[in-house]
Amino acid sequence: MVSFETIYRIPPSHVLKTRFHSYGDGVPARWTHLEFDEDGRFVARYESLGRASRGRARASGGWKKFDTDGVLVASEDDLPL
């Protein structure tokens, strides 16, 4: 699986912290991450979703990026699993 830093295009000087993840069938199904800049200031929140199909294959629900005010500023329908 590609790293979330790569998926979300996080600059190397920023930190991405996992705030929450939930499990479905023993594997992560939903993630929430917080991005902080090099001075520790909150930059953005990311939400992503992965799910299992009927055949147990992993599928993507994509991801969303929200700014400091909670406004959706970017999204993609694909999440490399």
Q: What is the rounded distance in angstroms from the CA atom of residue 39 to the CA atom of residue 65?
A: 20
Reported as a pLDDT band with limits 50, 70 and 90, residue 35 is: very high
Question: What residues does each domain of the chain span?
Answer: 4-72
Full-model pTM? 0.77
**Digit-coded pLDDT (tens) for 56-66:** 555 567 899 99
- Mean pLDDT estimate for the chain: 82
The CA distance from 11 to 53, in Å, is: 33
Q: What pLDDT does 3 receive? A: 84
Question: How many angstroms separate the CA atoms of 21 and 27, rounded?
Answer: 10
Confidence of residue 14 (pLDDT cuts 50, 70, 90): very high
25: which 2 tokens?
A: 């069938």
The rounded distance, in Å, linking the Cα atoms of 7 and 28 is 16
